[in-house]
Amino acid sequence: MIHLPATLKISLRALRINKMRSALTMLGIIIGVAAVITMLAVGKGASNKISEQIATIGSNLIIVIPGSTTSSGIRLGSGTYQNLTIADSEAIRNECSAVATTAPVLNGSAQVVYGNQNWASGVFGTDENMIEVREWTLASGRNFYDQEIRSAAKVCLLGRTVADNLFGNDDPLQKTIRIRKVPFTVIGLLEPKGQSMMGQDQDDVIYVPISAAQRNLFGRYFPGTVRSIMVKAVSTDALERAETQIRELLRQRHRLGSSQEDDFTVRNLTQMMQTAEQASRVMALLLAAIACVSLLVGGIGIMNIMLVSVTERTREIGIRMAVGAKTWDIRMQFIIEALVLSLIGGLIGVGLGIAIAEVLSFLTEWTILISLYSILLSFGFSGLVGIFFGFYPAYKASLMSPIDALRHE
Amino acid sequence: MTALIETDQLEKRYEVGDSVVHALDRVSLKIFPGEFVAVMGPSGSGKSTFMNVIGCLDEPTAGRYFLDGIDVSRMDRDALAEIRNQKIGFVFQGFNLLPRTSALENVEVPLLYDKTHPKDRRNRAREALKLLGLEERMQHHPNQLSGGQQQRVAIARALVNDAPLLLADEPTGNLDTKTSIEIMELFVRLNEQKKITIVLVTHEPDISAYSRRIIRFLDGRIVSDRENRP
């Protein structure tokens, strides 16, 4: 078989002789590879960002909200019916095998005051399981005690935004804030989660015991009723099972006949997010596939130039054959030449792609993620393109008759 | 003594339209090791076809050809390439050197296609060039060399594999008289000192005069085959 270093040297010399032509041929591959890398980096960054956001709402999350009421023939929309109770929340926690835990929610908006500062925030009456359901971490302080939930203790947990607005740099623990003029003692501070996928600030939140919320803040609700129940399934695979179990349990508890519609709605938040993540991943792959087309076009450029090169160097091929080059010696020479062309192009393309992705993320503040996988993929693909499109010209060269090739002018 | 070249009823036919052209018509001859043979004849006489077949560049239509005792007339492309690599050195009228490639690398080319080690390759190419008095010109490219020097590089390339047979097709056709004489004297020296068998195609009597046997072709047949005393 042929000596690789010598063949490589021959290829490099041939490419150097036609610098402009080689550069233009490579350009197709460079653009292709750079496009693949950029597209994958942007797409991967987007889907990673969505995954992160999924993690912040808490994994395997299901929300149960009351159904709609009808008043004099006017349907009032979901959540207007006050038929979900703390007892429902507890029944779901205790009776559904696919459910890890639940937290009831009775929420509203309220003005909060500390010293000479005030702030309007979402106040959520809930129980001690909320921390687990939403996967909050406590930055300092402690969670509610079971006792505090039952006795409607006036204690609260603060999100970072609320704490920053009321306390600035002071430590909020054990301080008393007023929510709708009712004093509550801060017992814990939550780690920040950042924005949700819809752009809401998830840290603009105050948690209080649901009993205290009902008694002292949102008294218009009938005691024991909730505005929603947050449910955490035991695993992602159990999400659908949990949904079915919740639906069956609540229909039974609400005494609904088989012909009646549900008087509540079960929403699978995690699944919605995962769908969004999947969509962005598909989008990234689609973009990369389009970029691959330009790699393919670059490959055709290589084939074109290699065919020209083979014709131009017919006499050289004849000389090599006359002194003993075999079919595969000639074939390898031209395949390696095409490969060198495409791999150099690929290498430059990788560099250019990374540069474009970085500049793009700098200018647009998009999250980008350049994975080793995408680099290897596009570089490997450019090599395959070189071999694939180099083969036909090489094959043509290797089948020349030595006499005709030697006589070629 | 086995003949280096032995042909038996060698034929090469081309079909041009309805008629058949006999480029070689039942050619039988033997050339023994150490001979210096000139093949002569007008153009179209079949001498070039004869050289191509003898040089394993072309396959005969019929008949047999033994090179160094091996029947090469029915070999495939790659086997023929190996025979050319091992047994035959070519010298052409137009030199046929690789452009933009140094003399040294040109001489190395045949060694790329056998199993010679890269280091060995360089040394053997150097030796071959030295033998032809080109030690000062090793790094020169063909376009920096005179015609005579280029032809000597080509001869070095033909010798580098220690092939027993050297085939020269009008080797002085592109050279002036003085250089032609130099090249022909070189052939004589290689024939006498290194015992290399040389078969040379020419149409110039001055050139064939250096050989010791002259074979004349006409219409694809050998019309005379006689000894020559230089």
Q: What is the DSSP string of B79-103?
A: HHHHHHHHHEEEE-TT--PPTTS-H
Stretch B156-176: mean pLDDT: 93
- For chain A, helix, strand, coil in percent to 5 are 55, 20, 25
A-chain residues within 8 Å CB-CB of B12? none
Residue by residue, DSSP assigns A237-299 as TTHHHHHHHHHHHHHHHTT--TTSPPSEEEEEHHHHHHHHHHHHHHHHHHHHHHHHHHHHHHH
Whether the CB-CB separation of B30 and B185 falls below 8 Å is answered with: no
Domain positions in chain B are 35-45+76-227
Cα separations (Å) of A270 from A58, A96, A131, A227, A244? Answer: 8, 18, 17, 20, 15
Higher-pLDDT residue of B66 and A270 is B66
In Å, how far are A26, A33, A346, B137 from A379, measured between CA atoms?
Answer: 13, 7, 5, 42
What token pair was written down for A192?
Answer: 């920040």
Q: Please name the residue of chain B whose CA is at the shortest distance from the CA of residue A6.
A: B112
Residue B176's CB is within 10 A of a number of other CB atoms, namely: 12
Q: Kindly tell me the burial class for residue A242, based on how many C-beta atoms sit within 10 Å of its own C-beta (0-12, 13-18, 19 or more).
A: buried
pLDDT number for residue B160: 94
Sign of the C-alpha dihedral computed for residues B61, B65, B70 and B72 taken in this order: negative
Assign B110 a pLDDT band (cuts: 50, 70, 90). very high
| Residues of A with Cβ-Cβ distance to B75 under 8 angstroms | none
Query: How buried is residue B185: exposed, middle or buried, by Cβ count under 10 Å (0-12/13-18/19+)?
Result: exposed
Answer whether A100's CB lies under 8 Å from A284's CB.
no
CATH class held by domain B35-45+76-227:
alpha beta
Q: Which residues of B touch A6 (CB under 8 A)?
A: 108, 112, 118
Q: What whole-number distance in Å separates Cα of residue A303 and Cα of residue A387?
A: 10
What distance in Å separates the CA atoms of residue B164 and residue B67, rounded to the nearest whole number? 10
Is any Cβ of chain A less than 8 angstroms from the Cβ of B58?
yes
The reported pLDDT for the residue numbered A79 is 57
> Closest approach of chain B CAs to the CA of A404, in angstroms?
10
Please indicate whether, in this complex, the C-beta atoms of B109 and A17 are within 8 angstroms of each other: no
> Which one has a higher pLDDT value, B5 or A269?
B5
Task: Find the mean pLDDT for residues B95-112.
Answer: 92
Residues of chain A with pLDDT under 70: 1-3, 68-81, 197-198
Residue among B81, B39, B86 nearest B59 (CA): B81
Question: Mean pLDDT over residues B36-60, rounded?
Answer: 92
Stretch B38-58: mean pLDDT: 92
Chain B touched by A403 (CB under 8 Å): yes
**CA distance to A306, B166, B230, per residue, from B114 (Å):** 26, 18, 37
**What angle do helix axes A19-57 and A269-312 make, rounded to 10 degrees?**
170
First to last CA, chain A: 29
Percent of chain B residues topping a pLDDT of 70: 100
Closest CA to B74 of B88, B92, B89, B56: B56
Residue-by-residue DSSP string for A181-199: TEEEEEEEEEPP--B-TTS
From the list A329, A402, A406, which residue is nearest B113 (CB)? A329
Q: Which residues of A touch B77 (CB under 8 A)?
A: 326-327
* pLDDT of residue B87 exceeding 60: yes
A36-57 burial code (b ≥16 CB/10 A, e <16): bbbbbbbbbbbbbbbeebbebb
- Burial of A106: CB neighbours in 10 Å, binned 0-12, 13-18, 19+: buried
Please tell me the total number of residues recorded for chain B in this structure: 230
Give the up-direction half-sphere exposure of residue A15: CA atoms within 13 A in the CB hemisphere. Answer: 25
- In single-letter form, the type of residue at position A182 comes to V
Q: What is the Cα–Cα distance from B210 to A134, expressed in whole angstroms?
A: 103
Q: How close does chain A come to B137, measured CA to CA in Å?
A: 20
Q: Which residues of A touch B78 (CB under 8 A)?
A: 326-327
Q: Tell me, yes or no, if the pTM score tops 0.95.
A: no
A28 to each of A34, A200, A310, A384, B93, how far by Cα in Å?
10, 44, 20, 14, 42
Q: Kindly state the DSSP code that residue A201 receives in the 8-state scheme.
A: B
Closest CB from A13, A324, A402 relative to B113 = A324
As a whole number, mean pLDDT of residues B41-66 equals 92
For chain B, give the mean pLDDT. Answer: 92
Are B25 and B32 in contact by the 8 Å Cβ rule? The answer is no
- Give the mean pLDDT of B204-217: 94
- Asked if A319 and B110 come within 8 Å (Cβ–Cβ), the reply is no
Check residue B133 and give left, alpha or beta (phi > 0: left; psi -120 to 50: alpha). Answer: left
- Which residues in chain B have Cβ-Cβ distances shorter than 8 Å to A315? 96
